Amino acid sequence: MAKLLIEGQRKLRGEVSLQGSKNSTLPILAATLLTEGENVIHNCPCLSDIDVAISILRYLGCSATRHGHTLLVDTCNLNDTHIPDSLMREMRSSVIFLGAVLARCGRARISLPGGCELGPRPVDLHLDSLRKMGAVITEHHGEIRAHTPRGLEGARIALAFPSVGATENIIIAASLAKGTTVITNAAREPEIVDLADYLNKCGAMISGAGDGTVVIEGVERLHGAVHNIIPDRIVAATLMSAAAVTGSHIVINDVISAHLGAIIPAFEEAGCRLSVKEGRIDFKAPQKLRSPGLIRTTPYPGFPTDAQPPLMALSLVAEGTTVFVETVFESRYKHIGEFLRMGANIKSEGRVAVVEGVSKLYGSKLKAGDLRGSAALVVAGLAAQGKTEIDTTGYLERGYEELDAVLSSLDGSVRKV
Ligand code: UD1
């Protein structure tokens, strides 16, 4: 497994382009299962999670080929409704394939999904919603079997929590259901809007994506489409954190700044200056970072839980006290133990962590415990004095396309060995 070697405290400089969003690409690849004809999906990042989604499509009999950042997907020859345990365990978003296979074939068999350990991550909202749409679902020893005796039917679904994955599963399933589906308390993340945009290009009738209420009029068939995946807002937050802790001036291109509405103010609070223009962020860190204050993660448009770990890395070396309240996931502080090895000053209990900025972090040997946490360790390594060695255990590659090369292109000293 790859390790990253970082020589800390080097200033970054230059320009980078933002990769496409992992969290948009995954549900869109699942949604291709609903379509007849070829799909051309541009700006797909090269990531191990995307490779898993491609493997699932191929296992089901579909053709999926990559040409750089473009994926050509044709699902006409789909000939299976079972996704094996080995593929399902590779990532949590594999559960999105449930709604898609069910809508296309009237039955599906999957095992419970895997993914990063961020506390219990049930799929009850996904299953309850599909049941409301007429699916009969049984669970045996970690396997989920679903079929639709009368086909999927539109339903009114009020989500108890605006789950991103459940909202995506419902939108996908409802696109080919009979009648109208209305989701209230739907997730509003930009990735939901991207999924709806793609499906509407395929002939679906989805309105209200990005608002709390999404209405889907089911249609009989969908065709393939050409689609461009949105840029990855979490990678943007990670790169800005990297620039912030090294006192750097960088430019990030191909950004949709509207997606960073809750993220940009946190950097400004820390004393960073951002000039945002036409898909480009000119980012300047101050000589000395200030605490960003209170970071409370909530569903979009609030502060994203995925950006909490890199912002915590920033707060380690920011003057003053930063308070983190993680409301989305129960257990998302695995990076704290590693930060402490570096000389950070953090107290945490349950969902709250309090960071007192220190004047210096020390390069250390670290081990990643999840995807965004591993990116946060990279940020902390860039901030630290001396060498940091990170055993990423494959997590980083799930969501960041060659982060070592991206940071090296900005003059950072980050090497994969
Ligand atoms: C997606 C993102 C992930 C991000 C998360 C929250 C993808 C591929 N992943 O994950 O990066 O951190 O949104 O923004 O897009 N929950 C239930 N029952 C359910 C479903 C969810 O209780 O049936 C709970 C989860 O345990 C968690 C919370 O809801 O505490 C948020 O989960 P959800 O929004 O579903 O996240 P994911 O779709 O898994």
Active-site entry in 62, 116, 202, 272: 116
160 close to ligand 1 (CB < 6 Angstrom): no
166 close to ligand 1 (CB < 6 Angstrom): yes
How far apart CA 210 and CA 167 sit, in angstroms, is: 11
Task: Say if residue 82 is in the same domain as residue 14.
Answer: no
Q: What is the arithmetic mean of pLDDT over 142-170?
A: 96
- How far, in Å, is the centroid of ligand 1 from the Cα of 330? 11
Range of the domain at 166: 22-228
Out of 228, 248, 270, pick the residue that ends a domain.
228
Mutate to test the pocket of ligand 1, among 121, 125, 130, 351 (most ligand atoms within 8 A of CB): 121
| pTM greater than the 0.95 cutoff | yes
Q: What is the pLDDT of residues 20-66, one digit of tens each?
A: 999 999 999 999 999 999 999 999 999 999 999 999 999 999 999 99
- Alpha carbon 402 to its chain centroid, in Å, reads 16
Percent of the chain with pLDDT over 90: 92
Task: Say if residue 15 is in the same domain as residue 28.
Answer: no
Task: Say if residue 143 is in the same domain as residue 291.
Answer: no
Q: What is the mean pLDDT of the chain?
A: 95
136 close to ligand 1 (CB < 6 Angstrom): no
Q: What is the pLDDT of residue 310?
A: 98
Residue 115, pLDDT above cutoff 80: no
| Protein residue with its CA nearest to atom 21 in ligand 1 | 163
Instruction: Label each residue of 196-248 as H, E or C.
Output: HHHHHHCCCEEECECECCEEEECCCCEECCEEECCECHHHHHHHHHHHHHCCC
How far apart CA 161 and CA 56 sit, in angstroms, is: 28
Task: Say if residue 174 is in the same domain as residue 193.
Answer: yes
Q: Which residues are CB-neighbours of 277 under 8 A, at least 6 positions away?
A: none
The model's confidence at residue 118, banded by pLDDT at 50, 70 and 90, is: low
Residue 390, pLDDT above cutoff 90: yes
Task: Say if residue 46 is in the same domain as residue 91.
Answer: yes
Out of 185, 207, 228, pick the residue that ends a domain.
228
198 close to ligand 1 (CB < 6 Angstrom): no
Q: What is the pLDDT of residues 234-248, one digit of tens each?
A: 999 999 999 999 999
- How far, in Å, is the centroid of ligand 1 from the Cα of 65? 28
Beta bridge partners, 15, equal 251
96 close to ligand 1 (CB < 6 Angstrom): no
Helix 96-105, helix 22-31: angle, nearest 10: 20
| Protein residue with its CA nearest to atom 31 in ligand 1 | 163
Residue 9, pLDDT above cutoff 70: yes
Task: Say if residue 70 is in the same domain as residue 211.
Answer: yes
Residue 71, pLDDT above cutoff 60: yes
Number of domains in the chain: 2
Out of 193, 228, 263, pick the residue that ends a domain.
228
Task: Say if residue 408 is in the same domain as residue 329.
Answer: yes
Taking the CA of residue 49 as reference, the ligand 1 atom at the shortest distance is 8
Q: What is the pLDDT of residue 140?
A: 85
The model's confidence at residue 142, banded by pLDDT at 50, 70 and 90, is: confident
Q: What is the arithmetic mean of pLDDT over 161-185?
A: 98
Q: How would you label 218-234 residue by residue, b for 16+ Cβ within 10 Å and e otherwise?
A: bbeebebbebbbbbbbb
Q: What is the arithmetic mean of pLDDT over 371-389?
A: 97
Task: Say if residue 360 is in the same domain as residue 221.
Answer: no
Catalytic-residue membership of 62: no
Q: What is the CATH number of the domain that holds 262?
A: 3.65.10.10
Taking the CA of residue 191 as reference, the ligand 1 atom at the shortest distance is 15
Beta bridge partners, 195, equal none
